[in-house]
Amino acid sequence: MAGTRMRSAVTYSNEPLVSLRSAELHYRVGGALSALRGRSSVVKAVDGVSFDIHRGESVGLLGESGCGKSSIGRLLMKLEDATGGEIVFAGEPISGLRGAALKCYRAKAQLIFQNPFDAVNPRFTIRATLAEPLENAGIPAGEREARIIAALELVRLPQPAQFLDRYPHQLSGGQLQRVVMARALILQPDFVVADEPVSMLDVSVRAGVLNVFRDVRDRLGLTAIYISHDLALVRYVCERTIVMYLGRIMEDGPTEDIVHEPLHPYAKALVAAVPVPHPDQSHDPLPIGRGAPDPRNPPSGCVFRDRCPRAFDRCASEVPQLRQIGTRKVACHLF
């Protein structure tokens, strides 16, 4: 599959930094007893997802809640072990990382959390929170203070020194999210996953945090995955977008192409659902009806077919594979 992949216009190095090869994360629901009675079911949070991310690329993972986008983030951070497939970072599968190699990986791949109020220990001062990754990386105590200040300056927290001895509850959401970003960036990682970093923040401070994220990413040349349910945010931050639905990739391509001319019916519905800021312009969300189906019992064939306005016979019998259509890949029998 990697061989047929078309290179995008920007020149990235040939070797992908991160690649998922039909990665799976299946949860068994129900205990051992119901398994014996044949009643246990499997939730396929991530079901055969493959993509490559090249060094310096930013990719948006887009989808509604429960589609498995955060699970991919957790898989990439090795917070969860894949139940199938492979995740490769810099040429090495991360499933086998132990001990020192794992510690090394932890320094290179970092996660920015969704809820800053939950992502820092309320008993720790900002200094102790930011010192933890430095301790783990074996940075001598004398250098830590300077590194902490530098990281807080990087995320544009004004007068960082005054925050060091404060506790999380004394900071605002925007300030705390900057601290969370500083913790992710303090070891100068190569790869960052941002899991809806502004969804818990007030609208008024979102733009500030987003701009910091963009600037830092460009300045440090980070490879980034930006997980969001908001197409507008993904468009603001990422040049490439992967649209997910029920644990599978529906469409994968340059963000602008997807925004202007979505191919997959689900991507079309997502784009049509974005509010239009003009009263005269007609706003016509596509009728995809109801909510997502029960993830324990997804439809056969294409998982989207029961909501798809253009579904036909083949959709029920055959799972559509991701295929290259022009600049992007689409998993739909219409193409």
Partner 1 sequence: MHDLALQKPGLVGRMFRSLKLPLSDPFAVFGLAVYATFLLTAIFADAIAPYDPTEILYTPEYELASDLRPGEQGFILGTTSLGRDIFSQIVYGTRSALIIGITAAFMVALIGSVVGLVSGYFGGWVDAVLMRLADIAFGIPFLPFVIVLAAFLEPSIWNVVLAMALVLWRDTGRVIRSQVLTLRSRGYVDAARVCGSSDLKIILRHIAPNILPLSFLYGSIAIGWAILTEASISFLGFGDPQSISWGYMLQDAFASQALAKQAYYWFVPPGICIILVVSAGFFITRGYENLLFPKLGR
User: Which residue, 42 or 259, is less far from partner 1 as judged by CB?
Assistant: 42
Q: How far is the CB of 129 from partner 1 (least distance, A)?
A: 8
Q: How far is the CB of 103 from partner 1 (least distance, A)?
A: 5
Q: How far is the CB of 164 from partner 1 (least distance, A)?
A: 10
Task: Give the separation between CA 201 and CA 245, rounded to whole angstroms.
Answer: 25
β pairing state of 41-54 and 328-330: unpaired
Q: How far is the CB of 143 from partner 1 (least distance, A)?
A: 11
Dig out the tokens for 167 from the structure: 């506790």
Task: Give the separation between CA 282 and CA 160, rounded to whole angstroms.
Answer: 47
User: Which residue, 106 or 156, is less far from partner 1 as judged by CB?
Assistant: 106
Give the CA angle between residues 183, 185, 187 to the nearest 5°: 90
User: Which residue, 72 or 288, is less far from partner 1 as judged by CB?
Assistant: 72
User: Which residue, 144 or 156, is less far from partner 1 as judged by CB?
Assistant: 144
The phi and psi torsions of 37 (rounded to 5 degrees) equal: -85, 5
Dig out the tokens for 147 from the structure: 């590194």
Task: Give the separation between CA 192 and CA 189, rounded to whole angstroms.
Answer: 7
Burial 31-67 (b: 16+ CB within 10 A, else e): eeeeeeeeeeeebbbbbbbbbbbbbbbbbbbbbbebb
Query: CA dist 329 to 101, 229, 273, 288, Å?
Result: 34, 20, 22, 22
Q: How far is the CB of 239 from partner 1 (least distance, A)?
A: 25
User: Which residue, 27 or 236, is less far from partner 1 as judged by CB?
Assistant: 27
User: Which residue, 117 or 236, is less far from partner 1 as judged by CB?
Assistant: 117
User: Which residue, 28 or 314, is less far from partner 1 as judged by CB?
Assistant: 28
Q: How far is the CB of 209 from partner 1 (least distance, A)?
A: 17
Q: How far is the CB of 125 from partner 1 (least distance, A)?
A: 8
Positions in the binding site for partner 1 (CB under 8 A): 74, 77, 79, 103, 106-107, 110-111, 113-115, 118-121, 123, 125, 127-128, 131-133, 135-137, 141, 144, 165, 180, 183-184, 187
